[in-house]
Each structure stands twice: as C-alpha cells, then as structure tokens.
C-alpha cells in the first residue's frame, strides 16, 4: 500500500499538544501592517497555513472572510498565506 502524503504529513511532534482555543483568540482583530507570528493551533483545522511556515514572522496585508492574508518571505521570495486568527499571534516588541 502506498504511503499517505497528506497536508499534515510529518507533523506528529509539531501538533502533539492540544491547545484549548479561547474566545479571545478567535475574536482577535488585526490591522493592516501588523506584525504577526504563525503558530499553528492543532485544535483548529480551518484556515491552517502549511506546517513548513510554523514560527515564521510576517505582516498582515488584508482580510479575506474571517481569515487574514499574511505576507512572508520564504528565503528571498515574497509569499502570501491565508490564515485564521487562531493561528496568528501578535509580535510583541520589547
């Protein structure tokens, strides 16, 4: 039988901790040009970015439905990711 190569392939360690999603995480609002970090919440499956972008910093460039469009740089190539607020954490400048 052929091996499955799905979207969540090789993510057992990354998603092993179930995190309870709070209502404040789902209701969080971001403005355009806000800096965010992509931290995938394993308890929410909708609008999940690809696991290779876990921990990447980006900026909000727009909104699409309930999700946000995030611009990141993958090496030198700019990319756009669509992600819900459960998978985005604001970048805190200390």
CATH number of 82's domain = 2.30.30.70
What is the domain count for the chain? 1
Q: Is the residue at 43 inside a domain?
A: yes
Q: Is the residue at 80 inside a domain?
A: yes
Q: Is the residue at 9 inside a domain?
A: no
Going by DSSP bridges, is the β-strand pair 77-83/57-64 parallel, antiparallel, or unpaired?
unpaired
39: tokens are: 């931290």
Predicted local confidence at residue 35, as pLDDT: 97
Domain that holds residue 50: 31-90
Q: Is the residue at 3 inside a domain?
A: no
The percent of residues in the chain predicted with pLDDT above 70, rounded, is 99
Residues in the chain: 94
Q: Is 25 helix (H, G, I), strand (E, B) or coil?
A: helix
Q: Is the residue at 65 inside a domain?
A: yes
The upper half-sphere exposure of residue 82, i.e. CA atoms within 13 Å in the direction of its Cβ, equals 8
For the segment 48-70, the average pLDDT, to the nearest whole number, is 94
3-state class percentages of the chain: helix first, strand second, coil last, to nearest 5: 10, 30, 55
The percent of residues in the chain predicted with pLDDT above 90, rounded, is 54
Going by DSSP bridges, is the β-strand pair 67-74/57-64 parallel, antiparallel, or unpaired?
antiparallel
Q: Is the residue at 17 inside a domain?
A: no
């Amino acid at each position: 039988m052929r091996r499955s190569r799905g979207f969540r392939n090789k993510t057992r360690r990354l998603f092993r901790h179930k995190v309870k999603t709070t209502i404040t995480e789902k209701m969080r609002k971001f403005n355009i040009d806000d800096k965010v970090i992509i931290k995938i919440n394993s308890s929410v499956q909708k609008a999940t970015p690809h696991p290779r972008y876990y921990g990447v910093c980006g900026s909000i460039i727009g909104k699409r439905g309930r999700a946000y469009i995030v611009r990141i740089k993958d090496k030198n190539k700019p990319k756009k990711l669509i992600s819900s607020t459960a998978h985005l954490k604001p970048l805190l400048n200390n």
